[in-house]
Amino acid sequence: MKKILLIIAIVLLAFIIVIGIAVGFYLGPIVKLGIESIGPKITKVPVTVAAVDMSLLTGSAEIKNLVVGNPQGYKTPRAISVGTASVSVDPFSVLSKKIIVHSVKVESPEITFEGGLGGNNLNKIVSNAAAVSQNPSASAKASTGPGNKPAPNIEVDDFLITGAKVHVSIKGLGGREMTLSLPDIHLTDLGKQGNGLDPAELTRTVLEAITTSTVQAVSGSIASLSKGVRRIEGINTITNAVGSFFGK
């Protein structure tokens, strides 16, 4: 009798493993489609992902080559490019109304800051996301994924962006560009209270953190950026460009 029960247990375990692998195999493309469907509605710029690999058994996922495009009118090809993002999620929450993400680690993203007196690309994207997240009707519409199904809310316990580089292109420097390193960006307990954050609010929160860190890095490098600029007007242009990033 014990032997039969053991065999049944082994068969059931094997069945669960196979189902978990199969669901994870199909869930990756679904998540990819969701990102590429919901992302542009929130940011108003193209958002693409090369692939999403997900294991439902371990609760781990890997997002590959995430690219956030630039708003119209900007010359640089993209605003943010992420080679790899590692995600740890509670597998039992994947099909619930609130997905619990234990951790997100984004390594070595490439960020482009393109701006001038008329504004800048990152601030424009943040403004787009804020306009959506602060409007319940627009947020609900933007958070609708493929098949017109509402996306679940999300809790992220730990969100780490490390090794980020910012490519700076500011008008008034005669075409000069420079690259800056950002300190780690660390966010915790996002949506932990209540029902979590909808995709629009989560996107806005993360983009604002990236924006703030970028502004601080650019502001701290104004002296370096202004080298070789002989006219006071040129220096004022730099200052105004950075100021516009704060919405001043």
Domain count within the chain = 1
What mean pLDDT is predicted for residues 68-97?
Answer: 89
What mean pLDDT is predicted for residues 76-105?
Answer: 89
Nearest to 44 by CA among 121, 115, 111: 121
| Token pair for 73 | 């009118």
Which tens digit of pLDDT belongs to each residue from 124-164?
999 999 999 998 888 888 877 666 777 888 999 999 999 99
Looking at every residue in the chain, the average pLDDT score rounds to 78
Higher pLDDT, 117 or 33: 33
| Token pair for 152 | 């679940």
Which tens digit of pLDDT belongs to each residue from 157-169?
999 999 999 998 8
Higher pLDDT, 117 or 218: 218
Residue 189 has pLDDT above 70, yes or no: yes
Range of the domain at 98: 2-245
Burial tier of 95 (Cβ tally within 10 Å: 0-12, 13-18, 19+): exposed
pTM of the model: 0.78
Residue 26 has pLDDT above 50, yes or no: no
Residue 80 has pLDDT above 70, yes or no: yes
Helix (H, G, I), strand (E, B) or coil at 158: strand
> Please, which pLDDT band fits residue 29 given cuts at 50, 70 and 90?
low
DSSP strand E in the chain: where?
A: 47-55, 60-68, 80-89, 98-107, 110-116, 119-120, 153-162, 165-170, 177-181, 185-190
Max mean pLDDT range (42-51, 110-119, 232-241): 42-51
Residue 35 CB partners (closer than 8 Å, separation 6+) = 47, 49, 52, 63, 66
